[in-house]
Amino acid sequence: MAGPVVAAAVIFAPEKFIRGVHDSKQLTAEQREELFGPIQQGALAVGIGVAEVSEIDKLNIFWATMCACERAIEALGRAPGHVLVDGRKIPGLKHEQTRIVGGDRKSFCIAAASIIAKVTRDRMMVDFDVRYPGYGFAQHKGYCTRDHFDALKKLGPSPIHRRSFAPVAASAQFGLFEDFDDLDFDS
């Protein structure tokens, strides 16, 4: 519900492997942090792309994500020979690409990129927590959690909230949601 979309791209030499690199969602925050440096040091190139909240609200989350992915590839500083993409192909990308569904579990490069993106975004959200106290961004990282909804109900949206997302729009337009009890936080 809050914060930018962050994507990453990495290029490795074919023989490069870093133990422990796999799907960022299956790693703890500490494990991701520990792998961040070795990935950056072991990669031939690392690129990070960001789509800001205003772009998410203007384009929608899908197109903002595609923009962030394209920016990450452009930020590599060198042209990739071929791009492996997690999930969906990037429309209009000028490089050859292969879509891999569940790529962060199947591809070392995609897994490494997912770790770089996740750690980068998490660090941004910790910084936003200092700028916008009371929302708990350092804990929930802007995702839909009970604590985040409670903060939104109490404080209203911050400048980094995605106003195109229904709960944020409702709190901005109508003051605040009166009740978040119907929302399922366990799924």
Span 56-96, pLDDT tens digits: 999 999 999 999 999 999 999 999 999 999 999 999 999 99
Query: Residue 176 — pLDDT band, cuts 50, 70, 90?
Result: very low
- For the whole model, what pTM was predicted? 0.90
**Alpha helices for the chain (secondary structure H):** 29-42, 53-59, 61-74, 103-106, 108-131, 137-140, 146-155, 166-173
Residue 145 · residue 163 · CB < 8 Å: no
Q: Output 118 or 173, whichever has higher pLDDT.
A: 118
Cα angle 4, 49, 92 (rounded to 5 degrees) comes to 110
| Residue 11 confidence (pLDDT) above 70 | yes
Query: Residue 1 — pLDDT band, cuts 50, 70, 90?
Result: very high
Mean of pLDDT values over 128-138: 98
- Cα 140 to chain centroid distance, Å, stands at 13
Burial of 86 (0-12, 13-18, 19+ CB in 10 A): buried
Query: Residue 169 — pLDDT band, cuts 50, 70, 90?
Result: confident
Q: In whole angstroms, what is the distance from residue 70 CA to residue 86 CA? A: 13
| Domains of the chain, earliest start first | 5-128 (3.30.420.10), 132-173 (no CATH)
**pLDDT value at residue 177:** 45
Burial of 22 (0-12, 13-18, 19+ CB in 10 A): buried
Structure tokens at 124: 């941004």
Which residues, in sequence order, are CB contacts of 171 under 8 Å at separation 6+? Answer: 152, 153, 156, 157, 177
| Residue 186 confidence (pLDDT) above 90 | no
| Residue 173 confidence (pLDDT) above 80 | no
Query: pLDDT, tens digit, for every residue of 18-63?
Result: 999 999 999 999 999 999 999 999 999 999 999 999 999 999 999 9
